[in-house]
Amino acid sequence: MISPKNFKKLSFLVYGLGSTGQSVINFFKKNNIKNYKVWDDNTNDVYKKLRPKNFKKALSQTDYIVLSPGVSLVKSKKRKQLNKYKEKIITDIDLIFLLKKSFKSIVVTGTNGKSTTCKILEHVLKKNKFKTLLGGNIGTPILSLNVKKNNFLIIEASSFQLAHSKFISPDYAILLNISNDHIDWHGNIKNYINSKLKIFSNQKKNQYSILNFNLKKYLKKKLITKGIIPKIKDFQKLKKKINNPYLTSDINDENMMFVLSLSKLLRIKEKPFIKSLKSFVGLPHRYEIFLKKGNCTFINDSKATSFQATKSALKNGKNIFWIVGGLPKKNDKFNITNVRKNIIKSYIIGKNTNFFRNQLQNKVSIFISKNLKNSVIKILKDINSFKRKNNTILFSPASASFDQYLNFEERGNSFKKLCKYYARKYV
């Protein structure tokens, strides 16, 4: 194990100069680590002096390659060289554990619900006087946080970060769920699943593993930690006591069973637990109820980039006018058998209409609307024709945004803007 004493003697190559890569460089400067080089597939003149003249030689001579999460060994321009020295690759999260001080760590991963679960955990812990910090995949690079003694550090870990992690050892490791995602980055589903399971690989006997019951089948060996399987029914017993529609909707049951399990481990009693949840505000673009007008409820679920994520939203409502479409995930399949009764009509947007038509035809009513504007207008006209009392306009695209938008945030904001404008006209 690397210790702070020998850390400064090691050499590093920082690969990828996005926000994560720059946080690594700042971390090195802060800890007086001088023996490092940087590389990015795109030229970055700011760090020109730190670029190695001979990339292959730099890889062979460096002790560790700190790889940014956006860099894929399947797709990178330097993938052949990187794969050759794969055993040297670590992540930014590894660095925080290598120089670990006396903080407590909570690491959360899963295909869906990571950000929401992390934000709820942060809210509950802060309300109950825990000194809490949150970072990682959720936005703030983990090395940009000022972690101090006795802090509770909540880390949202993506499969990209975990794939190359070698030293991560959480006090509390949480694995929410696994479904088909990011196969283009990992190469195949097996690699994706294995990356998620790495959250448990370095844990010790006095640490905790909290995982979904359905994921036990993926474990190759018995966990040495204190293993916990949360139960949805445990949270459902408390739902009536929590006066917060965002948390008491069925869509958050899975997230909340993990939050409840961890809260019990941290000895947060039921009354303060419930009290803290009453003031929680949900994250934007995650089943976000942003407008109620007339007989219509408008929900922005733009973050749903796979069918599994969208299926949770479809389970949670009735009389749904569903906008779907975008850039579908590889091998994603739509099984709407259990939710089709909730769907009045689907409106397909984006540049992959044939894919979604083939997935949904003969299962639900379909309208090819191409874009969000056409969808919103058509839905509001249809609602006026159907004359139902309670209608749900759900934008849960079940696909990535990159065919028409920069990211899911831009896509979600566009939807909200359109709804607010046209609702005044038609509702």
At residue 218, the pLDDT reads 85
The pLDDT tens digits of the residues spanning 48-80 come to 889 999 999 999 999 999 999 888 888 888 999
Pairing between β-strand 296-300 and β-strand 288-293 as defined by DSSP bridges: antiparallel
Please say whether the beta carbons of 34 and 50 come within 8 A: no
Q: At what angle do helices 408-426 and 372-386 cross, to 10 degrees?
A: 40
Q: Residue 187 pLDDT more than 80?
A: no
Strand partners, 347: 323, 367
Structural domains of the chain sorted by starting position, each given as residue range(s) with its CATH number in brackets: 9-90 (3.40.50.720), 94-277 (3.40.1190.10), 288-426 (3.90.190.20)
The pLDDT tens digits of the residues spanning 318-343 come to 999 999 999 998 778 899 999 999 99
How many Å apart are CA 345 and CA 367, to the nearest integer? 8
The pLDDT tens digits of the residues spanning 107-157 come to 999 999 999 999 999 999 999 999 999 999 888 999 999 998 889 999 999
Q: At what angle do helices 270-277 and 114-127 cross, to 10 degrees?
A: 120
The DSSP H or E segment spanning 152 is: strand 152-156
Q: What angle do CA 187, 79, 72 make, to 5 degrees?
A: 50
Q: How many CA atoms lie within 13 A of 403 on its CB side?
A: 18
80, 92, 87, 211: CA torsion to nearest 10? -110
The pLDDT tens digits of the residues spanning 202-213 come to 999 999 999 998
Strand partners, 195: none
Please say whether the beta carbons of 300 and 288 come within 8 A: yes
